[in-house]
Amino acid sequence: MAPEPNRAGNGASTSGTAKDEAAAKKKIESEDLSDEDLALKQQLELYVERVQDTDPGLQKVALESMRQEIRTSTSSMTSVPKPLKFLRPHYGTLKAYYETMVESELKKYLADILSVLALTMSAEGERESLKYRLLGSEGDIGSWGHEYVRNLAGEIAQEYAKRQSEEAPIDDLMELVKQIVAFHMKHNAEPEAVDLLMEVEDLDMLTEHVDKTNFKRTCLYLTSSARYLPGPDDMLVLDIAFSIYLKFEEFPNALQIALFMDNLLHVRTVFTSCHDVLRKKQFCYILARHGITFELDEEMVNDDEEREVLQDIINNSKLSEGYLTLARDIEVMEPKSPEDIYKAHLLDGRASAGASVDSARQNLAATFVNAFVNAGFGQDKLMTVASDSSSSGSSGNWLFKNKEHGKTSAAASLGMILLWDVDSGLAQLDKYFHSNDNHVIAGALLGVGIVNCSIKNDCDPAMALLGDFIDKEDSSTRIGAIMGLGIAYAGSQNEQLRYKLAPILSDPKASLDVIAFTAIALGLIYVGSCNEEVAQAIIFTLMDRSESELGEPLTRLLPLGLGLLYLGKQESVEATAEVSKTFNEKIRKYCDMTLLSCAYAGTGNVLKVQNLLGHCSQHLDKGEMHQGPAVLGIAMVAMAEELGVEMAIRSLEHLLQYGEQNIRRAVPLALGLLCISNPKVNVMDTLSRLSHDTDSEVAMAAVISLGLIGAGTNNARIAGMLRNLSSYYYKDTSLLFCVRIAQGLVHLGKGLLTLNPYHSDRVLLSPTALAGLITMLHACLDMKAIVLGKYHYVLYFLVLAMQPRMLLTVDEDLKPLSVPVRVGQAVDVVGQAGRPKTITGFQTHSTPVLLAAGDRAELATEKYLPISPILEGFVILKDNPDYREE
Amino acid sequence: MASIFTQLQSFRRNESHETDASVVADSFTSESLILTETIDVYPTNAPYKRKVSPANAEEFNHSSTSRKNLVIMIFLIVSVKWQKELFKDVEIDTSQPPYVFKCQLFDLTGVPPERQKIMVKGGLLKDDADWAKLGVKAGQKLMMMGTADEIMKSPEKGTVFVEDLPEEEQVAAVGHTAGLFNLGNTCYMNSTLQCLHSVPELKSALIDYSHSGRSNDVDQTSHMLTVATRDLFSELDKSVKAVAPMQFWMVLRKKYPQFGQLHNGVFMQQDAEECWTQILYTLSQSLRSPGSSENTDAVKALFGIELNSRIYCQESNEESSETESVYSLKCHISQEVNHLHEGLKHGLKSELEKASAALGRSAIYLKESRINALPRYLTVQFVRFFWKRESNQKAKILRKVDYPLELDVYDLCSDDLKKKLEAPRKFLRDEEGKKLGLKVNEKSSVPKENDVKMSDAEGSSNGGGEPSVAPMEEGEKETQMTGVYDLVAVLTHKGRSADSGHYVGWVKQENGKWIEFDDDNPKPRVQDDITRLSGGGDWHMAYIIMYKARVVSM
């Protein structure tokens, strides 16, 4: 039981040295002692002797003096305080004497001192400090110094775990915990307090101790640690943080947590507990960016007119306006043609010389590039060119420079160009509705869906216009309408649409592609809802497929539609996953992987990543294709936080080296998802290497992914790489098509847009955005049959993830307001004391301003106060009442 | 339908009706029921309605009679959003079918009713719908979609896409000819063929061959090889995808069995230069017009270089001269040679041992050659391979020898030829000067021109035996050689010995672009890539290069 003082001492200072050597050293040390120290040592030795004296009075004096010595000794971080050091040899003696003492005040005094001495002396795992503390006088815990409290907290955690397993009472411990938490919270050690409370599973205690000065740091620590906790603990932690934020009226943060938990009741609470209209407006902007459907009612907002204004914000009806304000400010309104993007003049004469004949594939690529580059600007050089010159109009001309199904994408590209601008979008698309070409009509329908993406409108134009077409004979128009509805109503959980779309799944006359797109559309509309009816409908459809139909490339969209229903919903998927085990074995594993990866998407769950990696490590010879979605799944799960992303990138490198071909084909796509709109140099290099892979499918995926990681960044390095690839692959039309698409993506919205589904300081994950991305990526798993075949319009699913990467400050009347802001690399300030700098290497701009991946902004003026602490998207500013002009 | 429009428009002109109606409507609160006799309200709208649908006149009459009994009319005031505009206070007469409402909107927007799409709560407003069932509320915002624009029509002539074109036409779009498949170590042959294929004159000569047919003095295998070459060249011109030169390869082996050497059951790599020479030799034999003099030998006319050599023996001071015709110049590579020009000079001087009549024994003779007549296509072979006895193989000299994109062989020419070249060269310089914007010194050029005429006269009196200055064919009388050559094709070798490694042809296209023909995979290259082939490493290095004469027409 009693540790040898010598051994423990050596262990602390120089472990591993021979005993005699240490003894010799000690001798020298004692000889080296200064007079002062020597006096102290002798003094302490005297006290130790006195403590063992029989006279209680003398004992008391000795104990008092000893305590005095210990407390007054200034402790430093690197060395043991002198009194403790000199008392070390006597720890054993004192302990032995303590056992012999009778119960008295004095005994408790000695216990206190022993508890402190145990701090440096007690053997690992003995928890003697805690033991004597509990036996001691229960005085002010902080009086023994910070280190003592920290040590005690650690021992409590261990003791608690032990008692939990023995089901022993813990009341005495909790009493101590209360003291320690109070101490920590008072002394800027919130993380320690939170850690301790998490260990003893009593976070509620925190609410008593937080105050105005420390709640921010506390909540920050709570929310960031929640990521690493297993469910359902994480939800508990977030709940606490939510209630603290509510208590201190930090509503935007509370709302952020509510959205993170996907708890609409909490969102409601935020609205009902806040009474400031301006703040509510800001909430609406946050909700709009998140892309969820949310209806305000009277309880949340009393005034009818106000409610309408707020609902308008949630419905994103001003998004287009804000985006164009940004574009005008940055001066990029001038439309760009695909040639401006290709920059063929920079390539020394390698580009194909004879461009005299139109190539349908290249024109289609130009259509997409044009759509991506001019997305949302309302003008371009191909589709919207003023048709006043001649009766046919040049836009008509470009449309007919596309072949058959290419016209669908061309007509739909008009929707992309007029993105978010429903009024003019519908007006311009109208002319295509009267075409007699089914492909053009299909494109117009899809275009309507794209224009309405993430915009809600009372008149439901998309539903009104597309509703009639979903039962048409022609399957291309049908797909156009269904996909349009899926994009326009993503995340809305619209019942009416379910009644319209679900019967198509069981329609015996519907072709497989119609069914596949219906499943996706339903998946998008009910994304993350766990809706039973839709799930049933898709499951039945999957079961009805014949063996040969299950082998079709588009069949992969059916399990994905099912998976989208459970996006990010973790355990809720289990029942459906069980059912999927009864499917035909051709699709069973594929379905399993898709469901798993969707359900844990954006959770960062390491166990699931390991599970998926396990599936990827198998070498298959039967040509199964479930490893593709498994690889994508790794990215989907791991993309949640920075550390996970880094680890996933490393694991994917391994898969690249040892994996089979079907895995290698998915790896670039997974990398693309992990670093979406965030061109990390190492990933860029990997993809650049893979873009020259001998397997053309790997190369294609890598090229597309280069576009994805650079999406909307105008990254010069990627642009250069792609330009060189365009000359390298000038003869391979398929690869050239991919290169063109990637070039379009890099210049997405002329560099004003992002595809990153994460927003608000990379905390919130927009479910519809992620759903759009993974739908497109799943389609890319079979590039040749889908994207390079006649379903290239799946690329338009990316529109769901498109958002302006801007900070637009508005005044109280929601009019743009230009103020100076500092924009710099975000710094992680979790667990740091004081008020640390949140950005580094900043530059000062005036709003509206673009934010790159990992950037954070802060106001550079005192004149205004932002309503939201997160400066992203639309932020309302109000005048600072304390501001004085200098 | 058109008649209805005119009527509608006439109604629109009659605006007083409309304003009256809205004033009436405005005076009531939007939700109030207007209790009035139908007659009071109808007069304002009646003419309009009748005109709208004369076909339904009976129906209207019928409904109006039934309504007379009810005398209840409901006006709903709604706002209609059309594009960026918002029309407030548009009243709906719920007793009328929506078509009437659409006509009202036509009035406001000019969009014909059948092109209007009005969105009401997730559905489109049908012309014959019942207002009561639609549940439109007062003050509701309706959205209308539709434009008065002309409906776009598909162009009468559909766009033609490359993908739909026949293969021959796709070639034009690709911009270069096809590659050749490697049939097993046949890259030496492929690269040779690609280089020769770039000579248009040779191609046309081959096409002519088919007409003349096989002449008696050409043996069967040569004939077959010529035909095979012709067919292969035409196939290369037609195809986009790579061609497998199977027929040619078989015939070549038949004619020259050394190319059929096997090693471990595989055809061996051969020396491209040998292939080049043999093919040209065969072609020169077969492309000779039957029964005519030698200047109709097409190959010789194109590639033949006439050398005038002076053979001199130092010991005996014997001197003789001889004329020979070769198909290529040799560029010898020694320690001193850094540049093609030096190599060529070196190559034109040689020592030989032959029996001396004066000394009665064999002696060392010095042979110095000069070019006496220039070819259209000047071929230069870098003598990179030599037989290395120790390793028993044709080893390679890796030394870097630069070659220019523009070669001037003036100082390698014989004095006669130099004289002949002067005038065209002067002309060429002036032309280039003009191009660069320099002023030509007129005065100085005059006397020289006279010179030219003299030399010209001389040249013509010498007869047509010299292809250099004399016209090639009757039709091209004016073109003259200048002694300046442009690089058009490079045949490179990569590897350490002639029987191993890889041969590739680099050919300049008519549009001025370079293509690297690496067997079946032609790749576009830039000029800088070509100059980088001069050796000095393990990269491809030039083995045979071909220059095209720059001619002037005076």
Chain A residues touching B123 at Cβ < 8 A: 463-464, 467
Name the band, by pLDDT with cuts 50, 70 and 90, for residue B67: very low
* 8 Å CB contact of B175 and A354: yes
Residue of A nearest to B117 (CA): A465
Residue with the bigger pLDDT between A259 and B394: it is: A259
Of A387, A403, A731, the CB nearest to B161: A403
Mean per-residue pLDDT, A558-582: 91
Q: Give yes or no for residue A393 having a pLDDT over 70.
A: no
Question: Which pLDDT value is given to residue A484?
Answer: 94
* 8 Å CB contact of A400 and B154: yes
Check: complex ipTM more than 0.85: no
Q: Which of B81, B82, B149, B161 to mutate to test the interface with A (most CBs of A within 10 A)?
A: B161
Show me where the domains of chain B are located: 5-73, 77-145
Question: Which pLDDT value is given to residue A599?
Answer: 94
Q: Mean pLDDT lowest for which of A265-279, B43-57, B262-276, B403-417?
A: B43-57
Contacts by A537-544 with C-beta closer than 8 Å and gap 24+? A537/A502, A537/A505, A537/A506, A538/A505, A538/A562, A538/A565, A539/A576, A539/A579, A539/A580, A540/A505, A540/A506, A541/A505, A541/A506, A541/A515, A542/A583, A542/A587, A542/A591, A543/A582, A543/A583, A543/A584, A544/A506
Is A386's Cβ below 8 Å from some Cβ in B?
A: no
State the helix-helix crossing angle for A405-417 and A438-451, rounded to 10 degrees.
Answer: 30
Residue of A nearest to B162 (CA): A359
Q: Give yes or no for residue A17 having a pLDDT over 50.
A: no
Residue with the bigger pLDDT between B506 and A36: it is: B506
* Angle made by CA atoms A734, A738, A741, in degrees to the nearest 5: 140
The CATH number of domain B77-145, selected from 3.30.230.10, 3.10.20.90, 3.30.450.20, 3.40.50.300: 3.10.20.90
Contact A719, A746 (CB under 8 A): yes
Q: pLDDT tens, A97-130?
A: 877 877 777 777 778 878 877 777 777 777 777 7
Catalytic annotation, residues of B: 187, 502
Residues 6 or more apart in contact with residue A671 via CB below 8 angstroms: A635, A649, A652, A683, A686, A687, A705, A709
Q: Give yes or no for residue B47 having a pLDDT over 90.
A: no
pTM equals 0.75
Q: Tell me what percent of the residues of chain A surpass a pLDDT of 70.
A: 93
Name the band, by pLDDT with cuts 50, 70 and 90, for residue A6: very low
Q: pLDDT tens, A49-102?
A: 877 777 777 877 887 887 777 777 655 556 667 777 777 777 788 778 877 877
Question: Which pLDDT value is given to residue B212?
Answer: 56
User: Cα(A873)–Cα(A313) distance, rounded to whole angstroms?
Assistant: 12
Work out the burial of residue A500: count CB atoms within 10 Å of its CB; fewer than 13 is exposed, 13-18 middle, 19 or more buried.
buried
Is A321's Cβ below 8 Å from some Cβ in B?
A: no
Question: Which pLDDT value is given to residue A224?
Answer: 86
Question: Which pLDDT value is given to residue B18?
Answer: 42
Q: pLDDT tens, A343-353?
A: 887 776 554 44
Residue with the bigger pLDDT between A756 and B36: it is: A756
Question: Which pLDDT value is given to residue B156?
Answer: 62
Question: Which pLDDT value is given to residue B117?
Answer: 81
Q: Give yes or no for residue B513 having a pLDDT over 60.
A: yes
Token pair 């960031």 is at which residue?
Answer: A224
Question: Which pLDDT value is given to residue B213?
Answer: 57
Is A400's Cβ below 8 Å from some Cβ in B?
A: yes
Residue with the bigger pLDDT between A379 and B71: it is: A379
User: Cα(A436)–Cα(A425) distance, rounded to whole angstroms?
Assistant: 20
* 8 Å CB contact of B524 and A387: no
CA distance B325 to chain A (A): 39
Tell me the residues of chain A between 51 and 90 that have a Cβ less than 8 Å away from chain B.
Answer: none
Q: What is the mean pLDDT of chain A?
A: 85
Q: Give yes or no for residue A563 having a pLDDT over 90.
A: yes
The three-state secondary structure class of B470 is coil
Is B510's Cβ below 8 Å from some Cβ in A?
A: no
Q: pLDDT tens, B456-484?
A: 444 343 433 344 444 444 444 467 888 88
Q: pLDDT tens, A665-696?
A: 999 999 999 999 999 999 999 999 999 999 99
Q: Mean pLDDT lowest for which of A168-172, A778-782, B6-10, B314-318?
A: B6-10
